[in-house]
Amino acid sequence: METLRNSVSPESGKLRDWLKRIHDARGATISAGLRQKLKDEILDVYSERRIAGWDGYNADPITNEFCGAAIKFVDLLPQCIAEPDVVAEPTGRIGFEWVVGRYKRLSISAANSSIEYAMIIGSRKRFGEEPFFDEIPNEIEKLLLDHFSKI
Amino acid sequence: MKFLTRLRNFFSTTSQKSKEKLSSQIIPEERISRYVLDKNHYSKEKKCLRTAAFIPAKDGKKSVYRTDNCSEDEIWDIGEKYVAGLTEKKIPLLARGDLSASTIFKEDLKIECNGIPHFRHANIIDWKSGAAMRMQAATLAQESNLILCPSNTSK
């Protein structure tokens, strides 16, 4: 960090800001109010879609496993992240989605031990799967802080 | 009664004409519509469809309709009769997402016309798995135009 603080190039300045945001956000999760709101939405999505075909087609029921993983994800969401929408998926998973305007979108869904994500920013696309245990994977945390932060 | 008969004949003729126009080959410019019956699959405020609206169920098919050359009334009529009307609990039709076939083809997906329960019905098939499938669905959602169902505008 010391080397970065003393450096002067715009790139290193950006990197320093990003590291500071990560540092500040680490350990500090979203406010209790927002966390509770998201958990309430997860439970609503779960309780309203426990029967197959809830989407009018052939969706699978939302399962306990994915409901639990979604709650764990909310508990670990870093501070200063914009509020996501909680979404029921036809595979029985619960997803989180951030949409900003027409060209910025991030879709995430957590399972017991992994997280899937897909992001579109203009013509750039990124997707992948990361292991998910006791913290949000660095790759996903960086995407959230870089593109879907309230600050 | 005469008016109703004439109206019925008109729609019957229109439907027959559009059936004649529907080629078995889907061209990239063709309009494809996905009907939405779950309030969680679109955002009225953000005027968009959610990625979940295009994520296929485990059978790997996403049900859509070929709606080129259909009037707005015809499009909603298909959704009401052949999608919402066929659900066990008569779930109301809320919205639809329109996109071009080329958007679907660009994602390496195929459109399989099966004509059941309506001659315009098709399925989007050949989905990838996991995060790659999520990316395909997100792209289709991003490129779709959300249109709210006029009979359910309050939802």
A3 confidence band (pLDDT: 50, 70, 90): very low
Q: Is residue B41 scored above 50 in pLDDT? A: yes
Strands (E), chain A: 85-88, 94-100, 104-110, 114-121, 124-131
Query: Which of A3-12, A14-23, B6-15, B126-135 is predicted most confidently?
Result: B126-135
Gap between the Cα atoms of B101 and B111, Å rounded: 8
Cα separation, B102 vs B100, in Å, equals 5
Given a cut of 90, whether residue B26 has pLDDT beyond it is yes
Q: How far apart, in whole angstroms, are the C-alpha atoms of residue A71 and residue A40?
A: 10
What is chain B's mean pLDDT, rounded?
A: 89
- How many residues would you count in chain B? 155
Report yes or no: B64 and B115 within 8 Å, Cβ to Cβ: no
ipTM of the complex: 0.86
pLDDT tops 60 at residue B64: yes
More confident: A1 or A56? A56
Q: What is the rounded distance in angstroms from the CA atom of residue A7 to the CA atom of residue A9?
A: 6
pLDDT beyond 70 at A27: no
The model's pLDDT over B73-108, given as tens digits with 9 standing for 90+, comes to 999 999 999 999 999 989 999 999 999 999 999 999
Task: Spell out which residues of chain A touch residue B141, defining contact as CB-CB under 8 Å.
Answer: 105
Report if pTM > 0.90. no
- Residue A73: both structure tokens together: 């994800």
User: How do residues A112-141 score in pLDDT, each as one tens digit?
Assistant: 999 999 999 999 999 999 999 989 999 999
Cα angle, residue A43 at apex, residues A39 and A48 outer, rounded to 5°: 150
- A105/B142 touch (CB, cutoff 8 Å), yes or no: yes
Q: Which member of A55, A99, A107 has the closest CB to residue B37? A: A55
Contact across the interface for B139 and A120, Cβ inside 8 Å: yes
- Contact A113/B60 with Cβ under 8 angstroms? no
Please name the residues in contact with A15: beta carbons below 8 A apart, sequence gap of 6 or more.
A4
